[in-house]
Amino acid sequence: MAKHDVPSEIIKFKGIFDMELLYKTMRDWLTRRDYYFEEPTYKCKPNPLGGKEDEISWKAYKKETDYFKFWIEIEFHTWERKDIDVIEKGKKKKMNQARMTIYFNSYVESDYQGRWNKSPFLVWLNNIYEKYIIKQEIDNVYTDKLHYYVLKLHNITKECLGMETKGSEYGDVW
């Protein structure tokens, strides 16, 4: 089992946003694309300066083929999160105000079933297969595809936060 890393993405945000909408939108995006989703960490603690500090981590994976699995790991970290009431379109709405950083890390896992780890000869054969035979396919198809998926999720997150840099030049890829 080898990991083929994909470039990471980061969002830094400070302002007013709807945490519930952000959470739901991102999770729905992952589940609609057949990603298995889990949340191994959800910490919420009071901040001595006021508000709350949250640490949330998500792991999502999708079996792309019998040999490749896509992994997306997302980490949220908020500081000084406070619940506030905002009047939007004439209606009162509960929202949040905070500083937040969201990290998007992803990688392609090859031979996720461990079929090629049963003997030293198979491990050697698999290394040759990945380094010389399908290296171009791994680099130009699978890691590329996952990178553009993460960029789409990144852009959806920015739109949900109401950031000015909405959209991407890579919106129609894959």
Q: What is the pLDDT of residue 140?
A: 87
pLDDT at 68: 94
Q: Is the pLDDT of residue 148 over 70?
A: yes
Residue 32 pLDDT grade (very low, low, confident, very high; cuts 50, 70, 90): very high
Distance of CA 63 to the CA centre of its chain: 16
Q: Is the pTM of this model over 0.85?
A: yes
Q: Look at 34-48, 72-86, 155-169 and tell me which has the smallest mean pLDDT.
A: 155-169
| Residues 153-174, mean pLDDT to the nearest whole number | 76
Alpha helices in 34-142 (DSSP H): 120-128, 135-137
pLDDT surpasses 80 at 171: no
